[in-house]
Amino acid sequence: MSSQLVIHVPPTEDASTLKSAIKRAARCVALVGVAPVLASFWLSAALVGRGRALESRSQLLSLWPGLTGQYLRRAFLQQILARCHPSATVEFGTFFSQPGAILDENVYIGPRCSLGLVHLERDVLLASNVQIPSGGKTHYFDDPSKPIREQGGERKMVTIGAGAWIGTGAIILAGVGRGTIVAAGSVVTKPLPDNVIAAGVPAKVIRNRFESVETSASDA
C-alpha cells in the first residue's frame, strides 16, 4: 500500500482576514495613543490657530521612528487633515503645516518632507526631503518699502496627480500631472503635464515617460 503526503495549506482568505483584523486593532491602539496629542492640538488651535497647532504637533509625532510612528502619525492626521486615507504612509521626520492637506489612497511620503496645502492623489510617491509649500506666492515681495515678512502672501492648493513620483530633495511650487516623474533636486515652478519626466532648476520636461530614450535622442 502506497502512502501519500498530504500538506494542509491555510486558506489565503483566512490569512488575509487575520492580517486585516490586526491592522484594525493597531489603528485603534494608535488612536488611543495619540489622544493626548489630539487634545493638546484642539486647545492650542483655539489660541494660535489650527495651522500653527498642526505644525508643532506633527513635528512632535514626526520624531517617532518605525512602524509605530507610521501608525501614530496616520491616526493623528486622519483626525486633523481635510482627508487622510487609512492606507497613506508618512515616514519619520515629516511634518505638515496646513490642515487643508489631502492624502489619498496608497500615498507614500518619505522621511523629512515638509508639506503645506497639498493634495497628494492616490499612489503618489514622495522621496525623502521633498518640500511642497502652499504654492509659489506664500510671501509677496513687490513693495520695496516694506520688509518681506510684512507684505503678506497667499496659499494655494498644490496637487500632485495620481501615480506621480517626486524625487529626493525636489521643491514643488506648482501642480504635477498624473504619472509624472520629477527628478531629484528639481524645482517645479510651473505646472507639469501628465506622464512626463521633468528635471532641472526650474524643472523642464525632458521627455514623455513612454517615449524611448533612442527616439528622444534622435529627435534632438
Residue 205, Cβ neighbours under 10 Å: how many? Answer: 13
Handedness of CA 144, 149, 154, 156 (dihedral sign): positive
Q: List active site positions.
A: 139
What is residue 213's three-state secondary structure? helix
| C-beta separation of 79 from 94 below 8 A | no
Give the rounded distance of the alpha carbon of 152 from its chain centre.
26
**Integer angstrom CA distances of residue 177 from 24, 58, 159, 216:** 33, 27, 8, 20
Q: What is the dihedral of CA 34, 93, 190, 80, to 10 degrees?
A: 10
How far apart CA 35 and CA 32 sit, in angstroms, is: 5
